[in-house]
Structure 1
Amino acid sequence: MAVMVIAEVRGQTQQGYDGMLNVLAGVLSRADGFVAHAAHPVDDGWRVVEIWTSKTAANQFFAKHVAPHLPPGIHPKRTVQELHSLLTAAVMDDRRS
């Protein structure tokens, strides 16, 4: 089942986020189970939202690729929510065919 992962990253800056994204973007785009990534600043840091095909895939990627690159003192608070539905442009195109 697809999941949405929300990471609240207190203390993260745009510079810090951009640095992480530069390191991880390539491997993220090829990761098994990856669907989408979005992020934006919040009052006390940064929020990252990702869609994965499973909780296992999301957790494995985080443990292997994200956690080792986190700056000192940065500890994302991650929540995982199973999704009832996930519509993508590809899915919608298939439905119209």
Structure 2
Amino acid sequence: MSVMMISQVSGQSSQGYDGMLALVGDALRQAPGFVMHMSHPLDGGWRIVEVWDSREDAARFFAAHIAPRLPDGVRPKLSFHPLHSLLTRMEQ
């Protein structure tokens, strides 16, 4: 079942987010189960929303690629939400 993973990162800046995305973006695009990624700033932090084929796919990627690169003291708050539906644009 597809899931939405929401990661809230207190204290994250646009520079910190952009730096992390530069490090892991290619691996993310190629990760098994990855569907989409989006993000936006919050007051005092950053929110990342991703859609994955399964919670296990998302957790595996996070453990292998994100967690080892987090700066000391930065611990995202993760939540997972099963999706009822997912509609995407048709490829032409």
User: Which category of TM-score, normalised to the shorter sequence, fits these structures?
Assistant: over 0.9
Query: Structure 1 residue 73: deviation in Å?
Result: 1.2
Higher helix share: 1
Residue in structure 2 matched with residue 23 of structure 1 by the alignment: 23
Query: Structure 1 residue 89: deviation in Å?
Result: 1.2
In 2, the alpha carbon distance for the partners of 1:42 and 1:36 equals 20
Which residue type is aligned with residue 4 of structure 1? Answer: M
CA RMSD of aligned residues (A): 0.8
* Aligned partner of residue 20 in structure 2, secondary structure: helix
Extract structure 1 runs of 4+ deviating beyond 4 A.
none
Count of residue pairs brought into register by the alignment: 91
Determine which structure has more spread, i.e. the larger CA radius of gyration. 1
Residue in structure 2 matched with residue 42 of structure 1 by the alignment: 42
The TM-score with structure 1 as length reference comes to 0.91
Calculate percent identity across the aligned residue pairs.
53
Residue in structure 1 matched with residue 85 of structure 2 by the alignment: 85
| Structure 2 unpaired stretches of 5+ | none
Which residue type is aligned with residue 64 of structure 1? Answer: A
